[in-house]
Amino acid sequence: MNAAVMASHVPTTELAAQILAAIGPLTLGVVLIVLLGGAMWWDGRRRSRLRVPSPEEQPKRADRREHIEEVREADDDAFPDDGSRLLPYNLKTHTSHTTGKGPEARPKHGSRSGGAFGSGSLGG
């Protein structure tokens, strides 16, 4: 059957609803494309107005490295002066310095506390 014969058997309200259902997404797509194109055009205009700073306005590098302050305790043992090397088992710990705090400085947990802060359990 052709479209004219089918259109004669369909009520006009259903036909209008079908046409609107087909035109609606098409119109929405065209509007989105126009909006995206306008956004690209506006961004291009905005970028063309920005000027590149001159070489005199560019930030300069410092002549020397800035002072870096570290809070750190010095290690007791130094590196060997005789040219030998330190092996991992020669080092006290895996850190670069000691804190000076022993196990007695750690917080004590009660018998009903598991030590997992914020866990909400009784521990054990």
Question: Is 9 a member of any domain?
Answer: yes
123 token code pair: 């521990």
Residue 29 has pLDDT above 80, yes or no: yes
Q: Quick one: pLDDT at residue 30?
A: 96
Structure letter (DSSP) for residue 54: P
Q: Quick one: pLDDT at residue 58?
A: 87
**C-alpha–C-alpha distance, residues 122 and 109, integer Å:** 12
Question: Is 41 a member of any domain?
Answer: yes
Residue 60: pLDDT band with limits 50, 70, 90: confident
Segments forming the whole domain that contains residue 38 = 3-48
Q: Are 40 and 32 in contact (CB under 8 A)?
A: no
All residues at 6 or more sequence positions from 99 whose CB lies less than 8 Å from its CB, including other chains: 73
Question: Is 70 a member of any domain?
Answer: no
Question: Is 115 a member of any domain?
Answer: no
Q: Which comes out higher in pLDDT, residue 82 or 99?
A: 82
Q: Are 73 and 100 in contact (CB under 8 A)?
A: yes
- Domain total in the chain: 1
Question: Is 58 a member of any domain?
Answer: no
Question: Is 76 a member of any domain?
Answer: no
pLDDT tens for 80-90 read 778 788 787 77
Give the C-alpha distances (Å, rounded to integers) separating 26 from 21, 22, 23. 9, 7, 5
Question: Is 80 a member of any domain?
Answer: no
Residue 77 has pLDDT above 80, yes or no: no
Q: Quick one: pLDDT at residue 19?
A: 83
Residue 13: pLDDT band with limits 50, 70, 90: confident
Question: Is 74 a member of any domain?
Answer: no
